[in-house]
Structure 1
Amino acid sequence: MKKTHALKGGAALAFAAMLPATAYAEAGDFQAKLLGTLVAPDASITEVKVDNIGLPAGSDTRANDNFVPTVAIEYFLTDNLSLETIAGLTQHDVDGVGGLAGAETVSDAKILPATLTVKYHFGNADGFKPYIGAGPTYFVFIDEQPGTALVALGADRLQLNDKFGVALQAGFDLAINDSGLGLSVDAKRYFLRTDASWTDATGAELLRTRHEIDPWVISAGLAFRF
């Protein structure tokens, strides 16, 4: 009987030894992620505030998708609760649809989405940890230019207002080894509103519209825990 228990105990220890000892992040750990990210805006005009160019009926806009590298840094407050911030710069053109079909309205607008999320992680030592999260974001618009269609109508300058919004998040981390290397897959949905204002060379406002900007941001890449 004792021999049987000893054999069972030895087998259990041997099996445990085959598992990563710390295959998941723990309280006090940092995790850096190098990611490839698809930014897919879901944007539309919600209000026309100033119209001195005569927009056609049914005018709306859509922004193009972009694929960019991003970096995320995460700190684990507890084994299951963490704070994460991301860094990345994405660039988009905006074209008209509906009554504005085919008209470029915004050219090469660069966006820095400063984001901080609080994440709750599920799972344990099997190395697979799905999570959900949420937090504030601040969209900074950089070097935005009026599109060719608006330039043809006299636009000399475009301003997109920097705005606060909210991000919701879900994804998972999967440990590859017990040295801190892992795979990370993440999806965020952003919700924010901003105003776009086109002015001519004298500073007179030609057009001002309010936009709903709710991009999907889908990322995948490597994580390094330390």
Structure 2
Amino acid sequence: MLKQAVLVVLLGMSASAMAGQWQVKVGASAIAPTGDYKLGNSTVEADSELAFTPSVEYFFNDNISAELLLATPISHDVLLDGQNAVKLKHLPPTITAKYNFKNSTRFTPYIGVGGTAFIAWDEKSDLGKVKVKEDFGFAGQIGFNFQPADAKNWGVFADVRYAQISPEVQIEGIPNFDLDIDPIIYTLGYSYKF
């Protein structure tokens, strides 16, 4: 009985110590690829897309946090000279270590650096059998969180991310090539801190 009481007290203490250190963000993002690839005299590039991009953030203190982007599956069309060549879906899990410029206002700018992954599936092409490989790269982030005066836990945020991803594309009968997506991601959304 005493052990159970001690366990309950310890769990309560750890829960109170964790209070205010987690934040959930729900946003909508515009994903704008910036790269392309020259395949002979042709240009291969991914199209721009919109996506639902939730994330979870843990605050180690007022200034240092880590954020994990958990976007829903994103569909991309890969264009060859403006015509659809490949359709694919992918997940872009991205983690960034962030510095939050905490101040006396309700406006908190932040910057972050980290890594991202490109996990593709459901690839389709009219050109032949296609496979898009996984890829990993650098990620950067800059943005701000704003908490209105009457808000206790919630706020709004806006940020811009850059992800360096160039997955290899294999299409039957065509030389393999790296699809330089390298997207800039513009996000607006709501945040809620626990």
Q: TM-score, normalised by structure 2?
A: 0.84
* Corresponding position of 2:180: 212
Aligned with 1:120 (options 88, 99, 103):
99
- 1:22-101 aligned within 5 A: 29-45=21-37, 57-88=40-71, 89-97=73-81
Contact between 2:133 and 2:167, CA under 8 Å: does it hold in 1?
yes
Q: Compute the displacement of 1:178 (Å).
A: 4.0
The gaps in structure 2 that reach 5 residues or longer are 1-17
- Find the aligned partners of 2:158 and 2:41 in 1 and give their Cα distance: 38
Where do 4+ consecutive residues of structure 1 move more than 6 Å? Answer: none
1:221 aligns with 2:175: no
Tell me the amino acid that sits aligned with residue 75 of structure 2: Q
Distance, in Å, in 1 between the alignment partners of 2:83 and 2:163 is: 26
Instruction: Give the Cα–Cα distance (whole angstroms) in 2 for the partners of residues 206 and 58 of structure 1.
Output: 13
Displacement of 1:27 after TM fit? 8.8
Q: Which runs of 5+ in 1 are unaligned?
A: 1-25, 49-56, 200-204
Q: Percent identity?
A: 31
1:168 is aligned to: 140
d(CA) in 2 for partners of 1:208 and 1:68? 28
Normalised to the residue count of structure 1, the TM-score between the two structures is 0.72
Aligned-CA RMSD value: 1.8
Count of residue correspondences? 175
Residue 198 of structure 1 is matched in structure 2 by 171
- Structure label with greater radius of gyration: 1
Are positions 1:189 and 2:173 aligned together?
A: no
